Amino acid sequence: MVYRELAAQSVAENDFSQFLSELQNALTDGQRDPNDVVNETLFQLYFGKQSVSAEDSRNLPLAARALIHSFDPRNTTTEPEYYSDIDASAYRQRKPFIWLWRMFDYSPLGGNALLGHRFRRMLAPLIFRRVGKNFKCWQYVEWSFGYNLSFGDNVVIHRHVLLDDRGGIEIGNDVSISDYANVYSHTHDLDDINKVHNRVTRIGNGARITYHATVLAGVQIGEYALLGTGAVATRDIEPYHVKVGVPAKTAKVKTRRTAGAGE
């Protein structure tokens, strides 16, 4: 299913493009600490003006000061930072971009898809192992580390998707993952919850993971397969198979190659 082509008014489009271009340069040109750039950008996104000085901020209510402090990624923590198997150095490099992405989603601009898709596409190569062309991501998508996550071309990730890449997730071309789906790549030992087993999860070209479906760690989703609404994939899914239920079982097999992602 092909998306319609939509655009804002010309003045807004020019401002969107300039904002993204200048932000990308500031984050990547090596002239400034990305944490400082994120801190400043988030202040502008949330308050609509330049950052206040340290002296002026002391006159603000404590709640406002707590919010301002939290714009700086160095004053925050995320859940993956508490995991013992994290590559702290790799995550630290990505954290400013991860925090900017997350806080953008919850900002007044987060729901504007005209800007949001381009904003996330700009940040994605700074976070993930690989990002193909035409990557499209909606609001409130979360992942674990980011550096173990790769996307092929023409991938669409819808709202509230969880991509747990602790063990690694490899997503092929023309894949669509629908709202509230969960894809895992780690499990906990049955007897010892502190023992984590990481397994690479792969989603093949043209596959679809539909609403509220779950893919467990290490599962391989074959090309053009479909995991139905609310289904749980506990085992590999063969190419072209449509699986439904808990655990997911074959309901039918596609007879021809279907169109790519974008639904």
The domain spans of the chain are: 10-127, 130-263
Between 220 and 195, the more confident residue is: 220
| pLDDT value of residue 1 | 61
**Average pLDDT score over the chain:** 94
- Judge whether residue 234 has pLDDT over 80: yes
- Judge whether residue 259 has pLDDT over 80: no
- Judge whether residue 108 has pLDDT over 80: yes
Provide the token pair at 163. 């991509």
- Judge whether residue 258 has pLDDT over 70: no
| pLDDT value of residue 257 | 63
| DSSP helix/strand/coil, 55 | helix
Total Cβ atoms within 10 A of residue 164: 21
User: Domain spanning 130-263: which CATH class is it, in words?
Assistant: mainly beta
Q: Write out pLDDT tens, residues 158-210.
A: 999 999 999 999 999 999 999 999 999 999 988 998 899 999 999 999 999 99
- Judge whether residue 261 has pLDDT over 50: no
pTM of the predicted structure, to 2 decimals: 0.93
CA–CA separation, 75 and 95 (whole Å): 11
| pLDDT value of residue 54 | 74
Among 84, 207, 229, smallest CA distance to 219 is for 207
Total Cβ atoms within 10 A of residue 208: 23
